[in-house]
Amino acid sequence: MSLPVYLDHNATTPLDPAVLAAMLPWLECQYGNASSRHEYGRQARQAIDEARQKVASAVNAHPTEVVFTSGGSEANNLFIKGAAACLKPGLLAVSAIEHPCVLKPAGQLARQGWQVRELAVDGGGRVNVEDYTEVLLDKPKLLSIMLANNETGVVQDVAALAAAASRTGAWFHSDAVQALGKLAIDFRAFNAAGVHAMTLSAHKAAGPKGAAALVLDKRVELQPLIAGGGHERGLRSGTENVAAIVGFGVAAELAAARVAEASVRLQAMQAKLEAGLAGLGARIFATDVPRLPNTSFFAFPNIDGETLVGKLDRDGFAVASGAACSSTSPEPSHVLRAMGVVPEIARGALRVSLGVGNTDAEIEQFINALRVTVGRLQGLTAIH
């Protein structure tokens, strides 16, 4: 039995063979604790230092600015809660389309005396300029606005937003998890514009799960979420996952080296996919604003997204429904709701996120399968 065609790369990506090869020694024979003083420990420490350099170079940061964490969710929580713990409660502003690992810690701070504002977005999923300008007048202490959205692929002008916020003295964070390997990332340029922290994750860019980083301007004071032995500049205690960190380093290095070529290839496949979707009558979201070159978010009227995901899976295609932030929630996508999409359409949303391993033939096969499946479902809807 063959595996389904994988079209869900924004959820996670296949491990690159070069990444796996780099990790294997640290899973087999090089098992030292990086805090140990003997040769095993020194080798592990050197491997982590080299990986830190690779991650930093991939996004034009300094190695001392890279704080390794277990995932993007931890990195986002580390910034939001860690920075808030060093400040008197004030205004925290986040965009309404952030991932739950930003929105939920913001909600926790709201119960601790912080004022939380969700920034409105326009119909294209970009931060509403008027609302943002109004929020800045209230002088927020913390801001978090993602670089690229995981559902729509919409890319925010984070540099311009941060520059506007710099006059308020706010600490500005951006979740860049979806951007690594799809967009060129220059933390130094972002930092100069006013971005103080940025989140990256290995498994979104052909690296392993369990390794991520908060790239942090050293002027920002954070209280660690995990206290202990003082690892990661005292910001993230705990014995390091050496194998995953080594894999992250290689994945980041490869992502930076390949991003220009990958984005061209992905964009060509995206255009082919969306031409097929338009021919089937799909509504494709956010086509008039900058997007990631691999992400297409769309819906068919009167067709439930979860139903469509299940049928496509049985037909041999792995895609994602945009109908919920989690598998347990029946609510339509909060991203589409923020964009003003009516619930009837939002519940039918489907996301295809491509990877460089996908082919034009797979796109054609997917469109043909979708044509048959959508036709059947629309026929059933017409009968009822």
CA 131 to chain CA centroid, Å, is 24
- The widest CA-to-CA distance across the chain, in whole angstroms, is 73
User: Is position 101 annotated as part of the catalytic site?
Assistant: no
* Separation between Cα atoms, residue 189 and residue 173, nearest integer Å: 14
Q: Which of 214, 277, 253, 317 is nearest to 55 (CA)?
A: 253
- Buried b / exposed e along 7-31 (16+ C-beta atoms within 10 A): bbbbebbebbeebbebbeebeeeee
Output phi, psi for 140, to 5 deg: -65, 150
Token reading at 97:
């389309």
* Separation between Cα atoms, residue 355 and residue 347, nearest integer Å: 25
Task: With H, G, I as helix, E, B as strand and everything else as coil, classify residue 250.
Answer: helix
Residues with catalytic function: 325
